[in-house]
Amino acid sequence: MSALDDNIAKLAPHLARIGETGFLNHIGGVAQPAVSGAWFETTSPTDDSVIAHVARGDAHDVDAAAQAAKAAFPAWRDTPATTRKRILHAIADGIEARAEEIALCECWDTGQALRYMSKAALRGAENFRFFADRAPSARDGQSLPSPSLMNITTRVPIGPVGIITPWNTPFMLSTWKIAPALAAGCTVVHKPAELSPWTARILMDIAEEAGLPPGVWNLVNGMGEEAGRALTEHPEIKAIAFVGDSSTGSAIMAQGAATLKRVHFELGGKNPIIVFDDADLEAALDATIFMIYSLNGERCTSSSRLLVQDTIADDFEVKLAARAKAITVGHPLDPATEVGPLIHEAHRAKVMASFETAVTEGAAIAAGGCRVGDTGQFVAPTLFTNATNDMVIAQKEIFGPVLTAIRFSTEDEALALANDTPYGLTGYIWTNDITRAMRFSDGLEAGMIWVNSANVRHLPTPFGGMKASGIGRDGGDWSFEFYMEQKHIGIGTGPAQIPRLGV
| DSSP of 171-226 | HHHHHHHHHHHHHHT--EEEE--TT--HHHHHHHHHHHHTTPPTTSEEE----III
- Determine the angle formed by the axes of helices 99-110 and 198-209, rounding to 10 degrees: 160
Q: Out of 126, 226, 266, 338, which one is annotated catalytic?
A: 266
110 in Cβ contact with 168 (< 8 Å)? yes
Buried b (16+ CB within 10 A) or exposed e, 469-502: bbbbbbbbbbbbbbbbeeeeeeeeeeeeeeeeee
Q: Out of 105, 107, 186, 300, which one is annotated catalytic?
A: 300
**DSSP code at position 260:** T
Phi, then psi, of 25 in degrees rounded to 5: -75, 165
| DSSP of 437-450 | HHHHHHH---SEEE
At 242, the amino acid letter reads F
Please give the Cα distance from 189 to 44 (Å, whole number): 26
Q: Are strands 262-266 and 239-243 parallel, antiparallel or unpaired?
A: parallel
Cβ–Cβ contacts within 10 Å for residue 247, how many? 11
Please give the Cα distance from 256 to 239 (Å, whole number): 9
Q: Is 300 a catalytic residue?
A: yes
Q: Is 266 a catalytic residue?
A: yes
Catalytic residues: 266, 300
